[in-house]
Structure 1
């Protein structure tokens, strides 16, 4: 079992992991030949299912496993990984690999940075020895000692520093994760592009504070926000208490076009029926699809705004809200598939 890769886009991966870290403490990471998946399924609250193409974040991608498609399943403390990646921002290069230390599986992040020095240029070179660690399934490096040597005679120069961040992980057997599947939901009643998530987050948190200020302190419960949308470009966020009833509304939002290869006939699709029920001004309440969500959980979900360029919200009336979050376009201008699915 082997995983080693040079990180191509540290900034993007750091933002991505920071978004996940705000939604849970432990992530299931599945690496295989085709993609990199991160999944967070908490005891309660929103689930996250994410898929990244390896070439989006990795320069090289060395993966070897006895499982089909070289699959490796890891249980990762996502907050620790996020902190380690933050330390790599601005680095010259960063490499991540699956290894072992003291017989414990770890993700080892090796960061190379350059700093300006007025003295001798001291370069840290890792001296690596290979051991078996008592586990023949791993091809790993441990006992990495950093030896320092004088690189030149002196004078002002760049100093190269190597930093290693180790994140303990668990290697999961295929049998442990084979029953984990993304939830299946009915076809949505409304599909709509959301306005900037930072804008929604500001308004949602303001509504939450107002609701808590007008609710008895003894309740201690998080307020619930009502989100609703129609197929005529409108979105509403509302909060209601005994002393408060406020709503914020967006209009002129776009709706994604459904793929005709998957939906050749939209006559009986729920979104078509919902559009017929509603009106341009939202005068018919039957044309709105609604969900009620925990305000604190919603605030955590909106943290994915730090990594996305567009978000499609799929409303299942009085049932669920599914968000499809897209990464920034690549160098060819192709956004590809959504990287995060939050439900």
Structure 2
């Protein structure tokens, strides 16, 4: 197996760094899947068992000037690696003023993602800073554990408010409760609610808009709520919600929340270069 990539454009490097920084805020460990045309960051905890799940994909052509991969076979030209995204994030912090960044799969004392950062220098010779990030290679027989999650048959789909505003609200609520209820309807209305023995607080958002699933013919068959004013809701861990909101650096052009009543909250962040899905299971 071989992999090597090269980033020269500063804007592309900054965008890639923001994606990695976001992933590092969401999980301590994840799977990096490499294919000919895409990179995927995957967290596949079973939502049904109370874990969160994440699926982030980027098109390598929007970031890399050079990109070569030789997977496990011609038939399966892919590579699956387990790594700690925080280590990747730290390595890229040294590359903010880099002339080039080269990333490749190497074998040192163990399999590594090696990042070589070429920094500008006052002399005629460039300075090279190298980082070796230990990884584990996932065998082919386990790849099916990391398939793209299916979009749930949601009851309501709604555009999120400005994420910074939502984050500010949730930060205040976190000091009052451990859980938050997210409810929304097909009239573009969404509420964040906490309810404890001592306090009840609700923040209302209106005129958010709803994604045009019906017009596009992609509305799930089991779409349950017919009256657009009826709220669908799910109660989730407020720390997980805040972790998701606080980690965002991808500046999405669209941010969507899909609610499966009392089961799961499914967030979708869309950018021209990146798509990120994040699943938070509902609490009883």
The answer to whether TM tops 0.5 is: yes
Runs (5+) with no aligned partner, structure 1 = 124-159, 212-222, 279-286, 331-337
- Residue number in structure 2 paired with 1:231: 186
- Residue number in structure 2 paired with 1:12: 15
Give yes or no for the alignment of 1:303 onto 2:253.
no
- Residue number in structure 2 paired with 1:41: 44
Alignment of 1:155-234 (within 5 A): 160-184=126-150, 186-211=152-177, 223-234=178-189
Alignment of 1:24-103 (within 5 A): 24-42=27-45, 44-67=50-73, 68-102=75-109
- Residue number in structure 2 paired with 1:110: 116
Q: Tell me the distance in 1 between the aligned counterparts of 2:220 and 2:260.
A: 18
Contact 1:198 1:305 in 2 (8 A): no
Contact 1:23 1:46 in 2 (8 A): no
Q: Tell me the distance in 2 between the aligned counterparts of 1:99 and 1:84.
A: 16
Say if 1:271 and 1:305 are closer, same or farther in 2 by CA, change over 3 A. farther
Give yes or no for the alignment of 1:291 onto 2:234.
yes
Contact 1:191 1:314 in 2 (8 A): yes
Question: Could you say what the CA RMSD is over the residues aligned between the two structures, in angstroms?
Answer: 2.2
Post-superposition offset of 1:100: 1.3
Q: Tell me the distance in 1 between the aligned counterparts of 2:176 and 2:23.
A: 27
Q: Tell me the distance in 1 between the aligned counterparts of 2:187 and 2:262.
A: 19
Contact 1:227 1:238 in 2 (8 A): yes
Q: Output the TM-score relative to the length of structure 1.
A: 0.73
Contact 2:153 2:220 in 1 (8 A): no
Say if 1:23 and 1:247 are closer, same or farther in 2 by CA, change over 3 A. same
Runs (5+) with no aligned partner, structure 2 = 280-284
Contact 2:42 2:146 in 1 (8 A): no
Q: Secondary structure of 2:36's match?
A: coil
Q: Tell me the distance in 1 between the aligned counterparts of 2:124 and 2:52.
A: 48
Q: Tell me the distance in 2 between the aligned counterparts of 1:174 and 1:61.
A: 22
- Which entry has the higher C-alpha Rg, 1 or 2? 1
